A and B are shown apart, each in its own frame.
Chain A
Amino acid sequence: MSKTYEEMIKELREIVRKIDDNSTTLDESITLYEQGTELLKACENVLSQAELKITALNRE
């Protein structure tokens, strides 16, 4: 997992912004849409695969 959830959400926000921008070409928009759906899938995976892990530090 290279990107954090936070980074992916940030990227998604940027993609949505670009798609809404009419100066983005159609080809670009389609590529962005594909990237967006991939990111959404990855985010969904992070959420569904998240697991509670507990580590206790030793007291000195």
Chain B
Amino acid sequence: MGGFQDSEAVRLIEEVLSVAEVTTIIKEVLDDERLRDIWVRGEVANFKCHSSGHCYFSLSEQRGGKTYAIDCIMWRTDASTLNFTPASGMDVIGFGYVDHYPPQGRTQFYIRTMRQAGEGEKHLLVERWKRELAAEGLFALERKRLLPEFPVRVGVVTSPTGAVIEDIKNVIRRRFPVEIILSPTSVQGDTAHREIAAAIRRLDGLVDVIIVARGGGSFEDLFPFNYPEVIRAVAASPCPVVSAIGHEVDVTLCDLAADVRAPTPSAAAELVVKDRTILRDELKGFYQLLTRGIMERLDLATREVEELRLHLHPRRLQRRVSERRQELEDFVESIHRTIERRLERYRLLLGQLSTAMEAANPVAPLDRGYCLAMKGGKILRSARDLKEKEDVTLKMKDGAADVRVEKVTYEQDV
């Protein structure tokens, strides 16, 4: 009997899943679009905020005599952005996703942000408008324009009474007084959004930049600044728009559509006009740059002149002259040497010629004791030139004598 039970148990065990396997299946099942990015309304129960800052509670609902509850968790970073402190019993709308936490086997709603219900309908409306307007590209970063550096006229869309316009005036007066064109509007109430949009449009072409501002208030108070009419007016404005609606934690669609978002109206005014003292410092900086620039330019000119003067210095010139003179002397020297060599050659040649001529000189033999017989200035070379009884001249080394030919004897025929 016992054996049968054992084999039955083995058969069952083969169909048993591990906890991990079931957990995996649960997570897979929960990975459903219907459980992501959802708004859930319910009553807060068992609200606990740990010392870590993370909040744990549940959202519950009574319906048809039954109680429904979902475990919820809100991380510290998300909880810190809430503009109210949740408490048990509060009617809220949470935004987030559902997931399973395996270590504790809990399926929980992970809440990213939460609002008090009652405001709920309007929040949902804002979310819808946000999606629609975003789809039209009205919040796109590439639409954002730079603010003008030095606006001459600043348009302000806000309530003509109250602290906001005063704050803006004070900041602008203190920093850089310009012309403010106030386009008055009511900033809360059922028709405020139409007034705001009209007030923005009224400034078309009159100003260089627009500040749309409102002081702090509840979500309900700031609600007009979420209307598509306002967003479209901001987007259509020909000049850049700075938005400062409520406090920094309140973000309206107007803030998202504006070219620049400022945390407060005063901050918006600071963004729009520069501080005169800083501008004065900038002018001083320009003055220094100009002065330094011209000084450096003058220095450069002086250095150029100095360099030129150095080039024109007399000693430099003397050196140049003496260099040229040396060159000239070298040249003359070389000409002399050439001529000398040539003369030497001529002298040699002349000596040779002179010796040759000496050899041919008819008078030369006289030195050796010979005499020349001449007649009528002509040398007599042959006995046949002589005639008896004729006078001839005998020329000796140291004198001459006129003699008479007595007899001529020919020794041979020539």
Contacts and interface: CB of A to CB of B under 8 A. Distances in A.
B300 interface: yes
Given A24-B297, A26-B297, A29-B297, A50 B184 contact: no
Interface string A2-16: 001110010010011
By size class, the interface of chain B is 35 or more
A50 B178 contact: yes
A14 B108 CA distance: 64
Nearest to A30: B294
A30 B295 CA distance: 10
Contacts of A37: 287, 290
B307 to A, nearest CB: 14
Interface residues of A, number: 31
Interface in A3-60: 4-6, 9, 12, 15-16, 19-20, 22, 24, 26, 29-30, 33, 36-37, 40, 43-44, 47, 50-57, 59-60
Contacts of A56: 160, 181-184
A47 B276 contact: yes
Contacts of A44: 280, 283
B365 interface: no
Interface string B177-190: 11111111100000
Interface in B158-213: 160, 169, 172-173, 176-185, 195, 198-199, 202-203, 206
A52 B173 contact: yes
A9 B280 CA distance: 12
A6 B290 contact: no
Given A19-B290, A19-B297, A29-B297, A55 B283 contact: no
Given A16-B286, A16-B293, A53-B179, 8 more contacts: A6-B150, A16-B290, A20-B289, A37-B287, A54-B179, A57-B182, A57-B202, A59-B198
27 contacts: A5-B150, A6-B148, A9-B149, A9-B150, A12-B286, A16-B289, A16-B293, A19-B293, A22-B297, A29-B293, A30-B294, A33-B290, A36-B286, A36-B290, A37-B287, A40-B287, A47-B176, A47-B283, A50-B177, A51-B177, A53-B177, A53-B179, A55-B181, A56-B184, A57-B182, A57-B206, A59-B199
